[in-house]
Structure 1
Amino acid sequence: MPGRLALDQARALIDIALVKADAVGVPINVAVADDGGHLLAFARQDGAILASVDIAIRKARTAVLLRMTTDELGKAAAVGGPLYGIEGTNGGLVVFGGGIPLFTPDGDLLGAIGVSGGTVEQDITIAQASADRLSADHPGTAATSPQRARA
């Protein structure tokens, strides 16, 4: 099923993120978007910050639209960067970590995961753990940029 993130994979991403969030000790919101940036699955843990519902969804959508992590985007969108001001486009993009795109080894975009509720570092850790586990469980996926996926 190249180019498509299946619902069972999206649910697995969510479940793994929730377990990791419990281990980290922070309640989160987690969203999985398909390859078009549309919400495929979502969960909000008890006590998660309500504002982070929208942020998690936008992190996943941003990672799909730009085919890069929101952490990478944040660096490019910093003052003086080549993408400075991009967060105001496309209905609002997120330019801080916690959104990770998912690719096939050939570089085809599958979708993305977005995590919000902790610090940026916690969000990245949780999202990355989930994406890495999906890659291990479903060998046709990679949580990286298409350039690195081909290497």
Structure 2
Amino acid sequence: MVTRSHMIESMTLEAAQMFADTAVDVALEKGLKIHVTVVDAAGHVLVYQRMVGAPFPAREFSEKKAYTAVSFKKPTSAWKDRLNDNPHLAAGLSQHPKVAMIGGGAPVFYGDECIGAVGIAGGLEGDDIEVVKETLKRTGHET
């Protein structure tokens, strides 16, 4: 008999709000103005927040970073070395409208299950990476 369905764990709205609020707190402490997007296990947006003064184009990057992190179940910063060694992969992925291969996105795990992801945009790439790492640390989800 063929199994026709499976269950997946996914982030709740309450958890997504906690991640977003924590990211904003971290950004405030660092003097940054960011966009934060939190997605569920399927890459659908649960929570989006923009701090006043955050650069407008960064909105879509926060969503793309979250989508990329949940899709590949790895931080978006992990792609840098892999893409440098494989220009064909870099060219192909850069054509995908929802993918961003720049740092600032990170998956959220519950046990072994990826239940969602957080995407940060608005600062320099290093700033976005620091904010997402500190957000995961403060919420007990360090990777």
1:86 to partner: Cα distance: 4.1
Partner of 2:115: 110
2:105 paired with 1:99 = yes
The question of whether the paired residues in 2 share the 8 Å contact of 1:5 and 1:35 is answered with: yes
Partner of 1:26: 32
The structure that has the greater radius of gyration is: 2
1:76 to partner: Cα distance: 1.5
Partner of 1:69: 75
1:3 to partner: Cα distance: 1.6
1:134 to partner: Cα distance: 1.9
Kindly tell me the number of residue pairs found equivalent between the two proteins.
136
1:61 to partner: Cα distance: 0.3
SS in 2 for 1:36: coil
SS in 1 for 2:15: helix
1:88 to partner: Cα distance: 2.6
Q: What TM-score do you get using the length of structure 1 for normalisation?
A: 0.83
Of residues 12, 19, 23 in structure 2, which corresponds to 1:6?
12
Question: Which structure 1 residue ranges, 5 or more long, are not aligned?
Answer: 136-141, 145-151
Please give the per-residue CA displacement for 1:73-113, whole angstroms capped at 9, x wherever unaligned.
Answer: 232122536843243354241111000001122x2111000
Partner of 2:43: 37
Q: What TM-score do you get using the length of structure 2 for normalisation?
A: 0.87
Task: Specify the code of the residue in structure 1 equivalent to 2:128.
Answer: D
2: CA distance, partners of 1:24 / 1:86: 35
Q: Percent identity?
A: 27
Question: Which structure 2 residue ranges, 5 or more long, are not aligned?
Answer: 1-7
2: CA distance, partners of 1:8 / 1:66: 24
